[in-house]
Structure 1
Amino acid sequence: MKLLSRRTFVQGAALSLGAVALAPGLSLGAPKQDAATLPQKTPVIGSKKVTPGQASGSVAKVYFSPVIDEASLIKLYNLVNEGIYGKVAIKVHTGEPNGPNILPRELVAALQKTIPDSAIVETNTLYEGGRYTTEGHRKTLEVNGWTFCPVDILDEKGDVSLPVRDGFHLKEVAMGKGITDYDSMLVLTHFKGHSSGGFGGSMKNIAIGCASGQVGKRQVHGTNMEGKPEFSTSAKKDLFMELMADSAKAVTDHFGKHITYINVLRNISVDCDCAGTRAHAPTMKDIGILASNDLLTIDQAACDLIFAAPDSKDVVERIESRHGLRQLSAMREKKMGNPQYELITIK
C-alpha cells in the first residue's frame, strides 16, 4: 500500500471514486462582542437563526456561553445531555504532536470527570504522521497530554461498516470497530478552519474522526486504495462535503437520540488540528462555547458567529474558498438537523 504524507494527501493528484460505494475554573478568553446582538451573515443557510416565539414550527435550541472555562463547559453539557447514558464515547480531536491550538486538556478533563463510564475516542489517520499507526498514535496521545482518562483508538481492532441511509453517494462507511462498544456519544469539537473542508466542526469531527484510518477515511475522501484526494475544482469540493455528510449521517443514525454536540470556538486558526505545529496562528479572538442536540444547527451557529465577527476575514476566506458552507446545505438536504434555531446565551 502506498503511504501518504500529509502534504501529498492534501495536495495530491486526481480524485478517484473507485472505493466509494455509490447509492442513489480555567479562563481561556471571551469575545468582546455580544453574540445575541450579532446578525446571521452566513451566506449559505442550512439552519436559519430565528427570533424566539416568532418562528413557525419547531426550533432547535443552541446554547451559547461567551466564557470558555470549566464551569461554563460543564453547565452547557448539562443542558444537552438528556440522551447520554451507559458507556459514553467522547469524540475529541486529540491533534498531531505538540499541536498548538488543540483543546486544553485541563478543560476536557474537568468535563470528562463528570461523565461516568466515559472514554475519549479517536481513530488513526490516513496520511502519515503522528497518528498514522496505533503505536505512534499512543505516543502522540502521551506527548499531547491525553493521559487523564482512557483513550480508545476505535480502529485498533479493525473496522465495522455502518449503513448510510439515503446518503448522497455512500451506502456504508467503515468506522473504527470500537464504536459499537458505546451506548452514546458526546461530540466535543474544537471549531476551526480546515485545509479541504473549509471548517472543521461537529460534522467533520465524526465524519472523518470516526472513520477508520485506512478504509473509512478513503471512502470519505473519495479515493481508492492508491488514489490521493484533491479538491481543486468546485465539483470536487462539493463532493467532499457531501461525502462527509454521508459519513456523519452513518454515525448519527447509529446513535439516534443518544448523541450530543459541543463546539468550542477558541484558537480559531484557518488550519485543522491535524496540521500540528505547521498550523497557522489564530487571527481571531476567542468567541465562546456552543452546545446543542442538533448537528446542523450547532455548526450553523458557529459559522454565523464567525461570519459576524469583525476579525474573521482569514477564516471566512478559508471557509468560502473551499466551499465549506456546502456542509451546512448538505446536512439540511438530508434532514440532519432543524432548519430553524434559537441561540440562547447562558452567562
Structure 2
Amino acid sequence: MEKSKVYFTRDISPAGLKKVYGALNVCLKGKVAVKISTGEPGGHNFLSPDLIKDLVQELNGTIVECNTAYEGRRNTSSAHWETFKAHGFQEVAPCDILDEEEDMAIPVKNGRHLKENFVGARLKNYDSMLILSHFKGHAMGGFGGALKNMSIGVASSRGKIWIHTSATSWKFDDLFTADHDSFLESMAEADQSVMEFLGRENLAYINVANKLSVDCDCDAHPHDPEMADIGIFASLDPVAVDQASVDAVYASSDPGKAALIERMESRNGIHTVEAAAALGLGSREYDLISLDE
C-alpha cells in the first residue's frame, strides 16, 4: 500500500484546526456528523467547544456521540444530554446521541472476532463523518485516537460491550474478560464496518494531541498530563493518522513522554493500528506534511 498523507500543525487553535482540515482537500457531503467524545463530568481534558466550534460550524455539522456502557454521567441519554449541555457543546452546534432510541447491526466483513457491529441507529441519518479525536492515553486501549473514536465511540452502549468482549458476551460484568489482543483486534474490525457503512470517501480524521494525559476523557478523574502538547494531525487514513500521532510521542524531546509511552506499551496499544492495517483500512507508512513551514 502506498504512503498516506498526514498533515500536521503545532497550532492548536480554531484556526489551526481549520487549516489542517482544509489541507485534506475533501468535501464531506450531505448531512455531516462530527464524532467527538463529550468527556465524563469531572474530567477536564476533552476537546474544548471553543476549539472545535469554527470547524464544526463551517461543516454545518452535527456533534454526535453514543452512550457509554459503564456507570457514569453518560450511560443514559438523559444524563448524557446534561453532559452535552454542561460541557458547552450544545452552544456550538446541533448535537445528537446516535443510540438514544435504539441501535442497529452493521456487517463486519471477514472479521476474526466480529461478524457484526452494533452502532447507534441514527448513524443512518448521516451521509459523512469527521472523526474528531482527542489523542491521549487510555486505560485499556493504551491510547485513544481515530481508530478508537470510530469503533468504541460509534458503537452503541451494548455494542461497546460486544467489542470489549470480542463478541462473546452482552454482559457488562464480562467487559474485561476477553483476551486483550482480541479486544484490540475487535476495535479494528468495528472500524472496518463503520468505514464500509458510510463509505471510505465520506470519512475524514483529525487527532488533536493536546492535554496528553495517560487517561481517557471517559475518566472522571484523569491523571494530569506529564508532557507538553504536540499539535494537530489530519488525514483521510485512520491508520496513518494514529500511527503519526504515536510516532510523534516517541519523537518528542519532552521527558514527560515516558508516562504516556509506558501506558501505550503496557497495553500493546499499537496492536489496534497493526490490526487495522492488516484489514486494509489504511497504511502505517505515511508522509508527514507540516503546514507550519
TM-score, normalising length: structure 2: 0.94
Runs of 4 or more, structure 1, over 3 Å off, are none
1:105-116 aligned at under 5 Å gives the runs 105-116=49-60
Asked if the contact 1:269–1:281 (Cα under 8 Å) also holds between the matched residues in 2, the reply is yes
* 2:192 counterpart SS class: helix
Q: Does 1:323 align with 2:272?
A: no
One of 80, 84, 90 as aligned partner of 1:147 = 90
One of 172, 182, 197 as aligned partner of 1:239 = 182
State the AA in 2 paired with 1:297. A
Gaps of 5+ in 1: 1-56
1:79 equivalent in structure 2: 23
One of 41, 60, 64 as aligned partner of 1:97 = 41
1:161 equivalent in structure 2: 105
Asked if the contact 2:8–2:233 (Cα under 8 Å) also holds between the matched residues in 1, the reply is yes
2:64 equivalent in structure 1: 121
State the AA in 1 paired with 2:183. F
2:174 equivalent in structure 1: 228
Q: Does 1:269 align with 2:213?
A: yes
State the AA in 2 paired with 1:323. N
2:223 equivalent in structure 1: 280
Give me the whole-angstrom Cα distance separating, in 1, the residues matched to 2:202 and 2:90: 26
C-alpha displacement at 1:254, in angstroms?
1.2
2:282 equivalent in structure 1: 337
Give me the whole-angstrom Cα distance separating, in 1, the residues matched to 2:235 and 2:99: 27
Q: Does 1:174 align with 2:126?
A: no
Deviations 1:240-278 (A, max 9, x none): 1001111111111112210000000000000000002x1
Asked if the contact 2:139–2:214 (Cα under 8 Å) also holds between the matched residues in 1, the reply is yes
Asked if the contact 2:36–2:149 (Cα under 8 Å) also holds between the matched residues in 1, the reply is yes
Asked if the contact 1:268–1:283 (Cα under 8 Å) also holds between the matched residues in 2, the reply is yes
Deviations 1:119-148 (A, max 9, x none): 000000100100010000011111111122
Deviations 1:271-324 (A, max 9, x none): 000002x10000010000000000100000000001111331000000000111
Q: Does 1:302 align with 2:245?
A: yes
Count the aligned residue pairs. 285
C-alpha displacement at 1:225, in angstroms?
3.0
* 1:106 counterpart SS class: helix
2:202 equivalent in structure 1: 258
Give me the whole-angstrom Cα distance separating, in 2, the residues matched to 1:308 and 1:236: 30
Asked if the contact 2:162–2:170 (Cα under 8 Å) also holds between the matched residues in 1, the reply is no
State the identity as a percent. Answer: 43
C-alpha displacement at 1:58, in angstroms?
2.6
TM-score, normalising length: structure 1: 0.80
Gaps of 5+ in 2: none
C-alpha displacement at 1:83, in angstroms?
4.5
* 2:186 counterpart SS class: helix
C-alpha displacement at 1:81, in angstroms?
5.1
1:187 equivalent in structure 2: 131
Asked if the contact 1:83–1:184 (Cα under 8 Å) also holds between the matched residues in 2, the reply is no
C-alpha displacement at 1:63, in angstroms?
0.2
Give me the whole-angstrom Cα distance separating, in 2, the residues matched to 1:209 and 1:173: 12
C-alpha displacement at 1:206, in angstroms?
1.1
